[in-house]
Amino acid sequence: MSGQNNKGTAVVTGASSGIGAIYADRLAGQGYDLVLVARRADRLEELAEKLRYAYSRKVSVISADLADDNDVRRVEQAIATDDSVTLLVNNAGLGGAPVVATADADLAERMIKVNVVALTRLTRAVLPRLIARNRGAIVNIASVLAFDTSFGGIYSGTKAYVVNFTEALQREVAGTDVKVQVVLPGATRTDFWELAGSDIDKLPQEIVMDADDLVDAALVGLARGEAVTVPGLADVAKLDAFLGARQGFFGSLHASKPAARYAA
């Protein structure tokens, strides 16, 4: 029953399909009750019923469009006042046209609202209580394209924000028992690609990961306390070298005078 082995409540956005639905299944199996958030109420209810039956967990749903300001605030209010929330998985995300000059401005704004604004506001909604209780975790789903613009500057820019935002959160919770993880998927087989107007089958299949494998790896990373989880990266030393080089580069950016090459 839901009172046994209860780890609290996990909030999962973008939960009606793909990565979010798999997170919901795995977390219910680990002993979490769930709050599932997505636009498609019928698919949320169908998933919720399956999880209740399979795991005897309490599962509630919030049908919301995270590109809509009022809907975001409604979700914020619900999770900010729920003392049982111990985990937030910011998974909801939108892709779109890679070319800025021909992008639909309204669709671009929707992407930014979901990928950046909603993620930020929902994190802000739960973080104070997690810190006060010294317990829980926030998982932000970014993308390897945070470090590459081949899928377009708007999408890549939103995911770069998620990485930087999450790194700052990690500093903020340092010294507490609150975990903050950023997950960087590569090409993952979900309906995200079709919704973004792309065909994942055109990619080399040796670089395409199944969503189940991605989520399982990310959860292992979370359990191990990883700050940055890249499921497709075989050599973690490369991540350490990249992060170290970036920090060293940042340290060289400050001076009291412009560099000599800018002298008139």
In whole angstroms, what is the distance from residue 73 CA to residue 95 CA? 22
The mean-pLDDT minimum among 88-97, 127-136, 221-230, 237-246 falls in 88-97
The DSSP code for 232 is: T
How far lies 168's CA from each of 162, 214, 233, 236, in Å?
Answer: 10, 24, 23, 21
- Report the interhelical angle of 119-133 vs 153-172 (nearest 10°): 10
Residue from 32, 55, 155, 161 carrying the catalytic annotation:
155
C-alpha 174: how far from chain center = 20
Percent of the chain with pLDDT over 90: 81
- Distance between CA 121 and CA 80 in Å, rounded? 10
155 catalytic? Reply is yes
pLDDT in tens, 221-255: 999 999 999 999 999 999 999 999 999 999 999 99
In this predicted structure, the answer to whether residue 84 has a pLDDT above a threshold of 90 is: yes
Helix (H), strand (E) at residue 248: helix 236-251
Q: Please, which pLDDT band fits residue 152 given cuts at 50, 70 and 90? A: confident
